[in-house]
Structure 1
């Protein structure tokens, strides 16, 4: 038993420190996700060891100190997403909301056939804007019968590769574009949204590749950081939303925030885990909304599951540009820009390689 606890402790310690290596290797980047789980398991292992065997030798002290440092390493990443931390995005103080927006984000899971359950949820929530990730043509055809009438504006790119995307909007969409920033088969949307008052903001919706077996994360990093740079250069305030396939506390997401200058409403409030809806013990915040300080938060809420492996997220924002200076905006350093440029270059090169490979396979 003593040996078993020792082995478990050192394995979990390795899992804690591995993500400190700045690399796109999938078998390292996946350990960005379970930081809370590793912290809890390693804490339980440490307490079990001390309770059962005590601290008798210098070797025990050194081992337990290393485990404790590994626990602290995990907690420092997730701490900001607990109510103990200072809130980054401020709540609106207005009683009457003049320029407000209700935005719903949902990864429907392409193979999920519970079309009506999802549609019922959308009709119940009745968001002003709806971002749908992973719709294929079957999803599109089912939803369009009801939603095309309810939402006069839309951008649609249903696909059969789990990277389809649809945006429905009650507000006017201007200069809408479907972009393929890194990979030819993975779209992202960019549009200017005009609210009923005439106020405008820019919306980016994204769904990059996740880290998975034998698939590294160069293209994910490149797409997110390209969007971060694009959002920073826009004339109007920006919102970025979608399934980012990355957790809120990862180095990539932090770099995205610094480059874009956008706020994360979960900081100081909670994880708002959206994946995996089917496995309660293993859930992570993969579906995100980041927004310009010109907006104030009204509420953010995780909605009920509907058959997908993701929970949907609903966020309500109030456009209050006169109070934007009251919110502390993330700022990028020279090193941040240098790192972002390097990651973008690596991702674009990898994307070009993948695109060429797919073109050759298609030609064959």
Structure 2
């Protein structure tokens, strides 16, 4: 029996790995994309246990473990320092062309606003994007940031999808849109840099695929791909930021990057896992900042715990269009663009049907 257990566990890990490759949108299938690092670690453990088992179970356990490890490594290695960076490092002296963004999913029920406000005043980012922020959070943020961050877009909601954007720089034509679902907002605005250049920001927080949220990932996927398609059709200098309720290496996020041409500054640098802040062994990168090829990276940090289930992120990107050709911009093929169109159309139709 002890010889069979490693084989059974190894087969279960391999099954979860293969299920994640399915294009189906059921939440439990998409959930298999999240713990890739954890599954890989368990595969190493089952491979070691296989050495103590008896044939033929030891052979089966070892083969399944190595297959799992190889498949998982292929997905997660790009988000480690073992991989080439995707966004090039910024050179000194570009401060007037740089923008610093602090993004924080505050957790609506979290009442530890002082810690976040202290971090904001310590780092003085140009933009502060909060997610899950309701009227209580708005009152605290308005009082603390009103003088230093005079430009704001406020969407206080008590459904876990409120969002607020505070800016030290002038916002150009800011608007709130409800892209796919009528209770899920997003913020879209131009941002004026000290140099006078104007860049674009899309702030998103789509609904996650989870039993208590959504039985499928369809609507999350449709929102991401809808924004990705808009970026492709209007390729101005652009940032996308938010809690996307998806991991960096997922099928949907990778398709979003190819459809939009956006780059991930974490690639080649690390995972910067932001959720879950309270469980070190169960963390993955849910909070994202993507940039178009017009930007280089000056700083990327995960900030300390603020009482939320997410860590905040701090990112400084510099607008350097003259270095755009240094980046290898992802690009979708015809089949991927068709898949994106179909996902967007189905998300809209099924949402409207209720």
Which runs of structure 2 are paired with 1:133-148 in the superposition (5 Å)?
133-148=131-146
Structure-2 residue corresponding to 1:272: 272
Give the CA deviation at 1:318.
1.1
Take 2:96 and 2:124, find their aligned partners in 1: how far apart are those partners? 18
Shift of 1:221: 0.1
Q: Relative to structure 2, which stretch is displaced further, 2-11 or 187-196?
A: 2-11
How many Å apart are 1:98 and its aligned residue? 2.9
Q: 1:68 aligns with which of 66, 69, 72?
A: 66
Per-residue CA distance 1:80-110 (angstroms, 9 max, x = gap)? 0111111111001234533111111100000
Choose from 90, 93, 97 the match for 2:91: 93
Structure 1 stretch 204-213 or stretch 189-198: which is displaced more?
189-198
CA offsets 1:164-196 (integer angstroms, 9 cap, x no match): 010011111111110000010000011111112
Q: Distance in 1 between matches of 2:38 and 2:159?
A: 31
1:49 alignment partner in structure 2: 50
Structure 1 residue 6 corresponds to structure 2 residue 4: no
Normalising by structure 2, report the TM-score: 0.96
- 1:218–1:350 Cα contact (<8 Å) kept: no
Which residue of the partner structure matches residue 203 of structure 1?
201
User: In the comparison of the two structures, how many residue pairs are matched?
Assistant: 351
Is the contact between residue 46 and residue 62 of structure 2 (CA under 8 Å) also seen in structure 1? Answer: no
Where has structure 1 moved over 4 Å in runs of 4 or more?
none
Tell me the CA shift for residue 236 of structure 1.
Answer: 2.6
CA drift of 1:62 comes to 4.6
Q: Note the 1:183-222 alignment, pairs <5 A.
A: 183-213=181-211, 215-222=215-222
| Residue segments in structure 2 that go unaligned for 5+ positions in a row | none
Structure 1 residue 235: deviation in Å?
Answer: 5.5
Q: For residue 305 of structure 1, what is the aligned residue in structure 2?
A: 305
Aligned residues of 1:16 and 1:71 also touching (Cα < 8 A) = no
Partners of 1:287 and 1:40 in 2: CA distance: 23
Query: By how many angstroms is 1:329 displaced?
Result: 0.8
The DSSP-based 3-state class of the residue aligned with 2:12 is helix
Structure 1 runs not aligned, ≥5 long? 355-364
Q: Quick check: 2:271–2:284 contact (8 Å CA) kept in 1?
A: yes
Normalising by structure 1, report the TM-score.
Answer: 0.93
Question: How far has the Cα of 1:282 moved from its partner?
Answer: 0.5
Deviates more, 1:3-12 or 1:189-198: 3-12
Distance 2:342 2:61 in 1: 37
- CA–CA distance in 2 between the matches of 1:92 and 1:141? 36
Secondary structure in structure 2 of the residue aligned to 1:240: strand
Tell me the CA shift for residue 23 of structure 1. 0.8
Q: Tell me, yes or no, if the aligned pair for 1:300 and 1:314 is still in contact at 8 Å.
A: yes
Instruction: Give the Cα–Cα distance (whole angstroms) in 2 for the partners of residues 231 and 148 of structure 1.
Output: 31
Q: Residues of 2 paired with 1:76 and 1:240: CA distance? A: 25
RMSD across aligned positions (CA): 1.4
Residue matched to 1:360: none
Q: What's the CA shift string for 1:132-184, capped at 9, x where partnerless? A: 10001011111111212221111110100000010011111111110000010
Q: Counterpart of 1:288 in 2: which secondary structure?
A: strand
Tell me if structure 1 keeps the 8 A contact 2:96–2:194.
no
Instruction: Tell me by how many angstroms 1:61 deviates.
Output: 3.2
Post-superposition shift, 1:60? 4.6
Q: Structure 1 or 2: larger helix share?
A: 1
Work out whether residues 228 and 257 of structure 2, in 8 Å CA contact, stay in contact via their aligned partners in 1: yes
- Map 1:163-178; keep pairs closer than 5 Å: 163-178=161-176
Match in the other structure for 1:17: 18
Which of 119, 122, 125 is the aligned partner of 1:121? Answer: 119
Residue 323 (str. 1) matches residue 306 (str. 2): no
